[in-house]
Copies of this chain bind each other. A is one copy, B any other.
């Protein structure tokens, strides 16, 4: 069923819900899902509606025009999207296949509602798997001594494919700050620890050293500061003294791929609203 998704953030106040509901009702809009959140600390209000497209008398453009006065009245940061227009996603990976294979399989089984424009990798290992899915694969090696050309090429490919979302599916390279800024809120990373614990390299080794009893994974938006962006989703799995670092890595793979898939899904469904360094996930 084709729906429109109306996503709104604005300073809190009386009458916002009524105004928006009225607007939708006056156009006969059939709401299939509605979520609200008042954030006491920031004083902001967040809202997401999913509306049957066939119940409304107009398309996205006309909707935008008609809704603009309300948006202005309440100083809304807002967007409306159409499920008929699939988001274009670029996946980036390195050598480890578990997150990439998981996302490709979900996409292939119609579980992820998006177009996967291409896969970019700094290694060639996963080419065959990607191409079996009928998706272009670009091998962009990263020279540790001069990473700039690689990231220029990455940037060119992302632009060329007009990507709206970039997913770092265990890409294992740190994106340059300008790319992080340019695609703020559009680049999704999976970090293989329960952040803020174990930022940076080899988190499972860090976890083993500290002797934690649960390990986790964190899906977050990439910002300039490493592993510090707004968190979309997290999960953990129990480990014990009997688990070696290799076991942790193996358990962790399952958590990583589940958390990344859930986080990406929330993003694709316009369920994630970023405010400051936190997210509202409806």
Contact = CB atoms under 8 A, between A and B. Distances in A.
Nearest to A208: B41
Contact of A21 (B17, B212, B233, B241): B17
Interface string A102-128: 100100110100000000000000001
Interface string A195-210: 1111000000000101
Nearest to A236: B236
Contacts of A253: 111
B19 A15 contact: no
Nearest to A98: B109
A14 interface: yes
Interface in A43-92: 46, 55
Copies in the complex: 4
Interface string A139-154: 0000000000000000
B211 A14 contact: no
Which of A18, A211, A235, A258 is packed against the most chain B CB atoms within 10 Å? A211
Contact of A211 (B241, B250, B278): B278
Contacts of A28: 14
B55 A29 contact: no
Interface stretch (A30-38, A159-167, A168-176, A184-192): A30-38
Interface in A220-254: 230-236, 240-242, 244, 250, 253-254
Interface string A10-27: 000011011101101110
A99 to B, nearest CB: 11
Contact of A197 (B33, B39, B194): B194
A234 B214 contact: yes
A254 B258 contact: yes
A135 to B, nearest CB: 14
A196 B212 CA distance: 8
A8 to B, nearest CB: 13
A281 B14 contact: no
27 contacts: A14-B28, A14-B55, A15-B25, A17-B24, A18-B24, A19-B25, A31-B36, A31-B38, A32-B38, A37-B242, A41-B208, A97-B108, A105-B105, A111-B250, A129-B132, A194-B194, A194-B197, A195-B197, A196-B197, A196-B198, A210-B231, A211-B278, A212-B234, A213-B234, A241-B279, A241-B281, A254-B258
**For the complex of A and B, 9 pairs with smallest distance between CB atoms:** A18-B25, A211-B278, A18-B21, A241-B280, A21-B21, A15-B25, A213-B234, A34-B36, A17-B21
